[in-house]
Structure 1
Amino acid sequence: MVSRKEAKKKSLLRILALIIAVVIVVVASVLMQNWWNNRPGPQPSEVSITASVGEEEMEIFPYLACVPGTECPEGDIPALEVGPDESLHLEIPEPIHQLEWALLRIYDDPAANDQVLHGSYDATTAEIPGSVDPLTEDSAERPQLVLVEVSAVMVGLDENGEEAPFSVVWSISAQGEPGANPGN
């Protein structure tokens, strides 16, 4: 038979073990949350957008990604042919859509060009028509999509390994040969 003293001792040991377990869980949760919030994100030059027209799909990496005020080497502008009756579909990943970002649509008629600004978590996709209605009644031709640009300011590591803002632009040519650079 267990004496009262031994029963009390066992109860106190169980309570102490429970308190220790709760403290360990709380400390582990706080450490995990701190690590999760401070883990490094992808470098701006590594973030890609998925562009598709019908069944054709490609991954688009930044055309420009640099700290403002520094010389910024231009990359290639990939091409994805978009017919007048087709639409270019863009998937915007979280490292971009969690920020403010802009979508610039350039057509062969400058009057049809358009820019849309998106706030944080406003949109995760964009649908850009291959052609739009003419803006003047005397124009019989529909303006055709030439170029699409997505731009954002992201935080990345500069050449010194310190956090810095980066201006980042993803460009997609809607006409021409893949890898062609219509800006040059």
Structure 2
Amino acid sequence: MTTPKKARQKSLLQFLTLLIAVVIIVVAAVLAQNWWNNRPGPEPQDVTVTATVGGTQIEVAPYLVCEPGLECPEGEVPNLPMGPDDTLVLDIPEPIHDHDWQLLMIYDDPAVNDQQFHGAYDTDSVEIPGSVDPVNEGDPRPRLMVVEISSAMIGHDADGEETPYATVWSLSTMDGERELRAPEDPATP
């Protein structure tokens, strides 16, 4: 038989063990949350946008990544051909859509070019038609030629210091039969 004193000691020991376990769990949760909130994000050059037309999907790496005011080497512009009735779907990853970003759509008729500005968490996916209604009735439907996504991102410079980067993802949608036509110059015969 246990005495009341031993029973109290046993209860106190169980309570202290439970209290220590709760403190350890709370400290672990706070440390994990702190790490999660302060973990480094991906470098701007490592962030890709997923572009899909029909059953074809490609990853689009940045075309330009540079610190403001510095010479910016251009990268490759991938091509994902699409027809006038196709829809281009862009999946925007969180490192881009968690702050302001913009979308530029360039058509083979400059009069219908469009630019959209998006705020943080406005959207993580955009659908763009392969052609749009012409400005003048009777004109052919302008077709999508190039799409660009622009975002200011934070990365690390050569010294490991955080610095802002202007980042642009560019995608051509031309099918090889089309070339970007320049506006007609009335002075040219």
Report the TM-score when normalising by structure 2: 0.90
How is 1:52-63 mapped onto 2 (pairs within 5 angstroms)?
A: 52-63=52-63
Query: Does 2:174 align with 1:175?
Result: yes
3-state SS of the aligned residue for 2:168?
strand
Q: Which residue does 1:71 correspond to in 2?
A: 71
Deviations 1:17-44 (Å, cap 9, x if unpaired)? Answer: 1111111111111111111111111111
Q: Which residue does 2:94 correspond to in 1?
A: 94
3-state SS of the aligned residue for 2:151?
strand
3-state SS of the aligned residue for 2:133?
coil
Q: Which residue does 1:39 correspond to in 2?
A: 39
Query: Does 2:84 align with 1:84?
Result: yes
Deviations 1:107-149 (Å, cap 9, x if unpaired)? Answer: 1111100000011111111111111111123x52111111100
List, as ranges, runs of 4+ consecutive aligned residues in structure 1 with deviation greater than 6 Å.
none
RMSD, aligned CA: 1.3
Q: Which residue does 2:140 correspond to in 1?
A: 141
3-state SS of the aligned residue for 1:41?
coil
C-alpha separation between the residues in 2 aligned to 1:8 and 1:124?
Answer: 59
Residue-pair matches, total: 177
Offset at 1:89? 1.1
C-alpha separation between the residues in 2 aligned to 1:56 and 1:12?
Answer: 66
C-alpha separation between the residues in 1 aligned to 2:128 and 2:16?
Answer: 63
Q: Which residue does 1:5 correspond to in 2?
A: 5
Offset at 1:56? 1.2
Q: Which residue does 1:112 correspond to in 2?
A: 112
Deviations 1:90-116 (Å, cap 9, x if unpaired)? Answer: 111111111111010001111100000
Where structure 2 has 5 or more consecutive residues not aligned to the other structure, the ranges are 181-189
Report the TM-score when normalising by structure 1: 0.92
Offset at 1:176? 5.0
Identity, % of aligned pairs? 58
C-alpha separation between the residues in 2 aligned to 1:58 and 1:176?
Answer: 15
Matched letter for residue 16 of structure 2: L
Matched letter for residue 127 of structure 2: E
3-state SS of the aligned residue for 1:131?
coil
Q: Which residue does 1:159 correspond to in 2?
A: 158
Matched letter for residue 14 of structure 2: R
Where structure 1 has 5 or more consecutive residues not aligned to the other structure, the ranges are none
